[in-house]
Amino acid sequence: MKKIVIIGAVGGGATAAGQIRFYDPKAHIVVFDRDSTMSYAACGTPYVIGDVIEDERSLIMADPEQFKTKRDIDVKLRHEVLKIERETKTVHVRNIETGELFEEPYDVLILAPGGSAIVPDISELNSSKTFTLRSYGDMQKIDQFIKSERPKSCVVSGGGFIGLEMAENLKNLGLDVSLVHKSPTIMSILDTDISLIIEKELSLHGVKLITGTAIEKTEGKSIKLENGIVLQADFIIMSIGLKPNTELAENAGLNIGETGGIRTNEFMQTNDPFIYAIGDASENFDMVTGDPKRVPLASPAHRQAFIAARHLMGDKIAKKGLLGTSVLKVFSLTAAMTGLNEKAITDKKLDFATVVHTGNSNAGYYPEHSKITLKVHYDPRTRKILGAQCIGGKGVDKRIDVLVTAIYAGLTVDDLQALELCYAPPYSSPKDPINMIGYKAITEK
């Protein structure tokens, strides 16, 4: 009977455990995690804080008792793996509650350690009430602080996914929100023109946006920025980025890639064939360019868990790369993207052309419709799609989903005009924006 030890019990780790049990009813599976909560929907945490999701327990998909009763999987929370002994195939574990130290043998080890919020070295930051949002416990601390202390204002540092979602939810709670972002525009994964539309939306809803600077020093509720501006806020949300938790892997001699993640092959194996790495801390490769890539999002983690589980069963399903497909809600806007943005294409010195179409999400004569802008980058020689972005009201996500499928299938930008997509006035137009991109690309040859 094969023994599989998994480090990490959230998205990737919990999914891997469940997948392995589904395919192998006899495997001995043990899961360790430092946290006190497992298998929770981390993406929902800003919406619990914003009271959009009323029951925080609804984010928890499973608990150790359920995993043991229904799947015969041992999940040990509040247990930290301190060391991996590759020669003897054991891990050294500490029970955080009792301090007990013990060793756990494995036949196969799966690393799903996730990542940690980056907190920069800011002068006197400890004097201010500062939070990060990377775990269920972090969410509870922020939520309890807001409910008990009744703060009136907040500074959100970082204009990525978490920063924008927190800015929206805190603003909807009635707080004065200032969003500080070091780069000239927010959401660096988007092209500048798309990011500027989001910035306008933030302004329309009363979020004070300050770009091109960062927090330099704090003194209680006084927050000084590098450009000299001083803000007053009751607390700070620090959301400037994620550092993959790779220390355990590094100390075990596993290869770390140029993105900072644990380097894996197409089957999620590390340079040790008995050790796999999945989720936020793993490095794969870009589907478009083949270059190293790390995407700390839920969907890739679940797919990686499936690939690792199947490989363990002898079924070699290769990972075909990462696109970084993502979607974001900011008040009345939705923004989504997949593949390479303009900066990435330019940095890689790739030839490209761009088609942009602005139109209605569905029939303009139908009462409920909205404007959307769809932007597609493609190789002018091969006509293959390099990346796409969409922003507007309803229907943004479905357009990007179609383009993800097109990239995966190897379709060209010209093929888009031929796709027979769903049409009825509440949902689209006879010539969908996807089709229009294809028609426009043909005329630009």
Residues tagged active-site: 43
- CA–CA distance, 88 with 212 (Å, rounded to integer): 51
| CA–centroid distance for 360 within its chain | 28
Q: Which tokens in the block code for residue 404? A: 């993800």
Nearest alpha-carbon partner for 27 in 7, 4, 5, 6: 4
Residue 31 buriedness (CB in 10 A; 0-12 / 13-18 / 19+): buried
CA angle (309 as vertex; 25, 29 as ends), nearest 5? 50
Please give the C-alpha separations between residue 102 and each of 14, 90, 92, 323, in angstroms, as whole numbers: 22, 10, 6, 40
Tokens for 19, please give them.
């997948």
Helical packing angle, 298-312 and 11-23, nearest 10°: 30
DSSP 161-229: HHHHHHHHHHHHTT-EEEEEESSSSS-TTS-HHHHHHHHHHHHHTT-EEEES--EEEEETTEEEETTS-
CA distance 303 to 146: 36
Q: Are 172 and 330 in contact (CB under 8 A)?
A: no
